[in-house]
Amino acid sequence: MEISELFITPQVNRKPFYDGDKGAPYKFKCPICRTKNVIPFEVMLHATWDWKENLDSDARKEIDLKFSLSPTGKSHEGGWTCINFIDCKSCASKLVSYIGFNEYYNSVYKLTEQGLAQVKT
């Protein structure tokens, strides 16, 4: 796996796209075709805990390098790192998203868009 282009790069002070206790999907436009895509909250929640286990070591290294991830597992704004792979529903571009997933009270979350990139196929 190789990340070919970064469309959104991490920022420590980026504002969250969600702050609350109901959970929210991550909605974004494909940077290639501009079609709206969605990652459900539950998918992000599970990916926060197991995204590394689902990848080989080379893919983990590529993601760590391109998104400048911390070895502690913390995201740039202080939450946990959440990585998801998405195929655009319109143009089928392979994308990888990086969300900062911060549970700052029991079941109360701040979700911050920290990265979006194209995966070379």
Give residue 111's pLDDT: 97
Give residue 50's pLDDT: 87
- pTM, full prediction: 0.93
pLDDT tens digit sequence for 104-119? 999 999 999 999 999 9
Cα 40 to Cα 4, 7, 17, 72, 95: the distances in Å are: 25, 21, 14, 25, 15
How far the first Cα of the chain sits from its last, in Å, is: 7
Q: 99 and 23 in contact (C-beta within 8 Å)?
A: no
pLDDT tens digit sequence for 48-101? 888 888 889 999 999 999 999 988 889 999 999 999 999 999 999 999 999 999
pLDDT tens digit sequence for 65-74? 999 998 888 9
Give residue 14's pLDDT: 96
Give residue 54's pLDDT: 83
Is 80 exceeded by the pLDDT of residue 121?
A: no
pLDDT tens digit sequence for 9-50? 999 999 999 999 988 999 999 999 999 999 999 999 989 888
